Amino acid sequence: MSDVIGAIVAIVVGAGGVLLLFWALNAVVERLPDRWEARLKPLVFIGPAVLLITAFLLYPALDTFRRSFLDASSDNWAGFENYAWLVTDPSVRETLFNNLLWILFVPTVTVLIGLVIAVLADRLSPRWESVTKSTIFLPMAISFVGASTIWGFVYAWRPPGRPQIGLLNGIVVGLGEGLSALSTRLGGGPIEWNPITWEQSSPINDFALMYIMVWLEAGFAMVLLSAAIKSVPEDTIEAARIDGASEFQIFSRVVVPQIRSTIAVVVTTLLILVLKVFDIVRVRTNGRFGTDIVANRFINELITFRQFGHAAAIVVALMLVTVPVMIWNIRRFREQEATR
């Protein structure tokens, strides 16, 4: 109960304190001459935000960049040793390769699934369309940790001969038993399908972990793409039908080009999420069995191995990859707004 009270007090004091701060600063500025009021009033509203961004974003980023040139304890100068480690260490190269697979697989499959569901749901009646979309979107309410725990039961493995509690291995063993019985009736030998270690067998385990994120984000892609598809002018679709275009040609040559900007937004958002995700790998394998990714490797270097220099170098490399994507997305958004 004390925790709840403390949280309520923190919210009230925090929100009330911000409002009081703006009110007091605004009252002070309004008492100044008009010339100074016009100059200082914008700073009243953006000044606190700039200070917070500087204190909690800009300064930590610059300090992380500085620490990437220091040793494990951040006490002595190490030069470019940490960046050389990023390039030469075999386990880091494996981690970078895994991240590349995530970058290629997750956004592509998520957008494709989102597109297919959006198109198919658009053909349903309004009632069933809402039910279908709500069901597909529901995993978005689950945290990455919660989803990883759920899929742990789907991928669960038990040795052959023991009852399989995992959904996939239950299906695999059940199919094996059915085919074995059929083969025996036809005079053939028994067929045995052993349960699969989904999270330990490479490269299956990488894609098994990736699919958890696809399951989580497919609803996000579906909602945005469905809204974009509904905004496509019906006249262009009817004109294509009159010209004899098939439904696939209408979708690929009429609809998709008009929702390209929305697809770019979805892909960019998913790409940034992929570069930052670590929860799924952390919960399921913690990077074992060749499944490590950059964000999880950073956590291990920082907390488990206490290699602060390596951890800082990983963060700098991650920022260098993420920032150009964000800049490209901002420029594309501005160009799109300029053409409206």
The fraction of the chain above a pLDDT of 90, given in percent, is 37
Is residue 180 over pLDDT 80? no
User: pLDDT category, 323, cuts 50, 70, 90?
Assistant: confident
pLDDT of 318 reads: 85
Nearest to 107 by CA among 256, 257, 231, 220: 220
Cβ atoms 301, 86 nearer than 8 A: no
**3 state DSSP class of 267:** helix
pLDDT of 163 reads: 87
Q: What is the rounded distance in angstroms from the CA atom of residue 149 to the CA atom of residue 204? A: 18
Residue 178: partners with Cβ closer than 8 Å, 6 or more residues away: none
Task: Give me the residue label for tokens 């100044």.
Answer: 32
Q: What is the pLDDT of residues 207-233, one digit of tens each?
A: 999 999 999 999 999 999 999 998 888
pTM of the model: 0.83
pLDDT of 160 reads: 85
Q: Calculate the average pLDDT of the chain.
A: 87
Q: Where are the domains of the chain?
A: 1-58, 68-141+214-338
Helical axes 90-122 vs 204-230, angle rounded to 10°: 40
pLDDT of 251 reads: 87
Q: What is the pLDDT of residues 81-136, one digit of tens each?
A: 999 998 899 999 899 899 999 999 999 999 999 999 988 888 877 788 888 888 88
CATH superfamily of 68-141+214-338: MetI-like (1.10.3720.10)
